[in-house]
Amino acid sequence: MTYRRELNKLEDNALWRDAEKIAKAIFDTYDRLPEDEKMVVKWKLRDRAFDLTSDIAEACGTFIPKDIEYNLSQARRSVFSMKNAYRYLGRQGFLKIDPQLMVDMDKLVTDIDVQIKKSWHDIDEIETDRRDTKPAPSEKGPES
Measured distance CA(47)–CA(27) in Å, rounded: 9
User: Per residue in 59-80, pLDDT tens?
Assistant: 988 888 899 899 999 999 999 9
Q: What is the pTM of this model?
A: 0.77
Q: Which residues contact 59 (CB under 8 A, 6 or more apart)?
A: 67, 68, 71, 72, 75, 115
Mean pLDDT of the chain: 84
Those residues with Cβ within 8 angstroms of residue 111's Cβ, 6 or more apart along the chain or in another chain: 14, 15, 18
- Domain regions of the chain by residue span: 2-133
> Which CATH superfamily is 2-133 part of?
23S rRNA-intervening sequence (1.20.1440.60)
Q: Is the pLDDT of residue 58 over 50?
A: yes
Q: Which residues, including other chains, have CB under 8 Å from residue 60's CB and lie 6 or more apart?
A: 4, 7, 10, 13, 15, 16
